[in-house]
Amino acid sequence: MFAGSHQLTVDEKGRLAVPARYRHALDAQCQSQVVITMGYEPCLEIYPAPEFRAICESIVQMENREHAELLKRAFVGRAVECELDKQGRISVPTLLRRQAHLDTSVVLVGQINRFELWAEDKWTAMYGEGPDSILPTLKDAFRALKR
């Protein structure tokens, strides 16, 4: 399970050092093979390869062909397979960094079965304490959570 958030730096070669606490889990779960793609938020999504394959299978099985084709083009079509290097880094492709408006300061956010990679300023604007924060709406989400 991936949880927590980490402020990280993307180096000049587009590499991101995955926090050590996740490296062992990724190695055990997917031999350090991940897939990076765009999601519907203004961030990148990073999946263990088996998790991404399961999503692709779900897309293939969708009854709504229009939605399936859209997801294949926008979600699967932008996906890039990566492997953590010996230093625990992944190379984030330039095109994906540009599409997600990532510079050197980023936030890696655990999302149970995947990660999101946000530009630090976008993450702070949406989930920090600024005027555009969505934090006040969390009360309804917590109430809807069945415990």
**7: part of which helix (H) or strand (E)?**
strand 5-9
Would residue 136 count as lying in a domain?
Answer: no
At 105, give phi and psi (nearest 5°): -95, 115
Instruction: Tell me the pLDDT tens digit for each residue of 12-51.
Output: 999 999 999 999 999 999 999 999 999 889 999 999 999 9
Would residue 140 count as lying in a domain?
Answer: no
Phi/psi region, residue 31 (left: phi>0; alpha: psi -120 to 50; beta: rest), is left
Instruction: Count other C-beta atoms under 10 Å from residue 121's C-beta.
Output: 15
The whole-number pLDDT of residue 96 equals: 97
The whole-number pLDDT of residue 140 equals: 79
State the pLDDT confidence band at 130, using cuts at 50, 70 and 90: low
Average pLDDT of the chain? 93
Amino acid sitting at position 146: K
Q: Are 97 and 38 in contact (CB under 8 A)?
A: no
How far apart, in whole angstroms, are the C-alpha atoms of residue 74 and residue 77? 6
Number of structural domains in the chain: 1
CATH number of the domain at 87, please: 3.40.1550.20
